[in-house]
Amino acid sequence: MSMSQTASTGSQMSGHHFSPEVHRSFRAFNPLKQEWIPREFKEATPEEIDAAVTLAAAAFIRYRKMPAAQRAAFLQAIADNIILLGDALLHIASDETGLPLARLRNERDRTTNQLCLFAALITEGSWVNARIDTGTPDVRQMRIPIGVICVFGASNFPLAFSVAGGDTAAALAAGCTVVCKAHPAHPNTSEMVATAIRQSAISTGMPDGVFSLIQGATHETGQQLAIHPLLAAIAFTGSFRGGKALYETATRRPTPIPVYAEMGSVNPVFFLPRILQQKGEALAGQFIQSVTLGVGQFCTNPGIFITNGPDLPHHFIESLQKHISTIPAGFMLTPGILDAYNNGIAGLQEQGAELLANTAASLSQASAALLQISAQKVLAGPSIMHEVFGPSTLHISAGNKQELYQLANTLEGQLTATIHGTEEDLREHIELVDILREKAGRLIINGFPTGVAVNHAMVHGGPWPATTPAAGTSVGTAAIGRFVRPVCFQDFPAWLLPPELQDRNPLGIWRMVNGNFSKTL
């Protein structure tokens, strides 16, 4: 089957093969044209789901034992083959998501960079966290892959958090096999990327079933996947409702499995008094950019901002109003997301928030919005500090430092928390840093939360309801830790030890030897 053939099946990809079954079908929506895209995609049947996971479990037995260099070559080939899909991929993704080509080009770069980063990580090899204690008994520990990972594609990152996105890259790098549930808003994009993975798997000699793609628009399809007994874990990026439903399903299985769900947050930004005096004007423009970037459709979008003191510079809010009114209305990813956004804004107003400014928009577009509410109202019912996914932000003005801390203390778990302040501001509000450290996975000083660097130190995660469990990250090389578990080998003869744990350290990796990091024994 050539790539051009495979790119137009609309079917499930079970390992290297496309399934011939016909069940129910669904279509994607073009937000820019406000019309359904004609091409039909087939909802996976329970049998197809079972076949894909069963194949993935069989493939795991071979894949887990492949040397890191081979897995790295596979990841690298996926990156190369995604590039080879050319602009056609970007156009199809744009049709299905309404995201502009320039943004999708960046996202494609991020996707291929992530794949290459994980290829480099496993080629270097120290990620296995090898620990050797040479006492009696001789005990040697390393991380091993856990099995079949079910990756749910995200609506808002059709490339970087979908089929060949961060979760898939981390899972394949770890030595796990993957069954991906495509997000129903961009099935064609998903299929194209899946064919690139398929091509790469074949050309680098990977076992059939190392990766499969499941299409489907119904809740049932996702649930059928989540209860499959051969799954080892689930990775999900999306709404709180969706993540929580998967979490509940997975924890109630006869054999519970972990769900690594990134469910978003309000990403509070605190603007302290002096910095607003010094450069409120400039910050206003940058902040509104962060709020409205990509029509506000980022998990790290700052949904609330909090200022301290009644002497808030008047021009700051005026400046925000001015900036937000210049933001063009935008098309959101799906009509459902637009509805939820509009309902969210209405909900904030019902709870007492005042709309200070917004963008003129047609019925099918999202209007960027600046709202305001008093700290008293928020503290009386903190449920207002929930995520409204889209280009809005809610101002809360604290009357004094104590009220500011009180607001910070009532925050739920967050992906990020940001403080803008001069050194004097920060020294005066040092307790704020302490409070926010308990609330978020990433703390930012004088920056903006949108834009997540993909490196070794990044944490994209945080306490419930931001993610589950709190102790994970879905961005950066540490994300590989979600798909492994430690195993230790006691008194193994040298020849039977994995290379990572052999005395002569044939892979040349960093290891903790009797408590010290070293490359020699």
Start-end of H helices in 7-85: 46-63, 68-84
What CA–CA distance (Å, rounded) separates 394 from 110? Answer: 30
**What is the CA 157 to chain-centroid distance, rounded?**
8
* Per-position x/- string for 33-62, each x denoting binding to a copy of itself as judged by CB under 8 A, each - no binding: ----------------------------x-
Min dist. Cβ of residue 369 to a copy of itself (A):
27
Site for a copy of itself contains 218 (CB under 8 A): no
Residue the block writes with tokens 């709404």: 239
Q: Closest CB to a copy of itself among 133 and 281?
A: 133
SS3 187: helix
Which residues inside 468-487 make contact with a copy of itself, applying CB under 8 A? 468-471, 473, 478, 484-487
Give the chain's length: 521
Given the residues 48, 262, 403, 500, select the one marked as catalytic: 262
Among 118, 247, 287, 331, interactor with a copy of itself by CB under 8 A: 247
Site for a copy of itself contains 503 (CB under 8 A): no
Site for a copy of itself contains 223 (CB under 8 A): no
- The size of the interface with a copy of itself (CB under 8 A), counted in residues, is 69
Q: Closest CB to a copy of itself among 159 and 444?
A: 444
SS3 355: strand
The stretch among 69-77, 94-102, 394-402, 459-467 that binds a copy of itself (CB under 8 A) is 459-467
Q: How far from 245 is each of 219, 226, 251, CA to CA, in Å?
A: 10, 10, 10
Minimal CA–CA distance to 410: which of 387, 381, 371?
Answer: 381
What single-letter amino acid sits at 68?
A
Percent helix, strand, coil in the chain, to 5, is 45, 20, 40
For 453-475, the three-class secondary structure string (H helix, E strand, C coil) is CCCCCCCCCCCCCCEECCCCCCC
Site for a copy of itself contains 174 (CB under 8 A): no
Residue the block writes with tokens 């296995």: 128
Helix (H) or strand (E) holding 273: helix 273-292
Q: Closest CB to a copy of itself among 20 and 486?
A: 486
- For the record, the structure tokens of 340 come out as 């939820």
Among 28, 79, 132, 180, interactor with a copy of itself by CB under 8 A: 132
What CA–CA distance (Å, rounded) separates 154 from 261? Answer: 11
SS3 288: helix
Among 255, 314, 360, 506, interactor with a copy of itself by CB under 8 A: 255
The reply to whether 403 belongs to the active site is no
**What is the CA 109 to chain-centroid distance, rounded?**
16
Site for a copy of itself contains 227 (CB under 8 A): no
- For the record, the structure tokens of 342 come out as 């509009």
Min dist. Cβ of residue 500 to a copy of itself (A):
12
Site for a copy of itself contains 506 (CB under 8 A): no
Q: Closest CB to a copy of itself among 326 and 490?
A: 490
- DSSP code of residue 363: T
Given the residues 150, 176, 180, 299, select the one marked as catalytic: 299
Min dist. Cβ of residue 460 to a copy of itself (A):
9
Minimal CA–CA distance to 359: which of 341, 374, 377?
Answer: 341
Min dist. Cβ of residue 440 to a copy of itself (A):
7
Among 314, 496, 506, 520, interactor with a copy of itself by CB under 8 A: 496
Q: Closest CB to a copy of itself among 186 and 429?
A: 429
Site for a copy of itself contains 258 (CB under 8 A): yes
Beta strand residue intervals within 197-256, DSSP E: 211-214, 231-237
* Per-position x/- string for 408-447, each x denoting binding to a copy of itself as judged by CB under 8 A, each - no binding: ---------------x--x------xx--xx-xxxxxxxx
The stretch among 165-173, 215-223, 326-334, 465-473 that binds a copy of itself (CB under 8 A) is 465-473
Site for a copy of itself contains 110 (CB under 8 A): no
Q: Judge residue 506's burial from the number of C-beta atoms within 10 Å of its C-beta, 0-12 exposed, 13-18 middle, 19 or more buried.
A: exposed
Site for a copy of itself contains 241 (CB under 8 A): no
The reply to whether 299 belongs to the active site is yes
- For the record, the structure tokens of 144 come out as 């091993």
Site for a copy of itself contains 510 (CB under 8 A): yes
Min dist. Cβ of residue 250 to a copy of itself (A):
9
- For the record, the structure tokens of 78 come out as 């996926």
Cβ(235)–Cβ(482) below 8 Å: yes
Which residues inside 320-359 make contact with a copy of itself, applying CB under 8 A? none
Contacts of 223 (CB under 8 A, 6+ apart): 245, 249
Q: Hey, which residues are catalytic here?
A: 262, 299
Which residues contact a copy of itself by CB under 8 A? 61, 65, 124, 126, 131-133, 135, 137, 139-141, 144, 146-147, 247-248, 251, 255-256, 258, 423, 426, 433-434, 437-438, 440-447, 453, 455-459, 461, 463-465, 468-471, 473, 478, 484-493, 495-496, 510, 512, 514-517
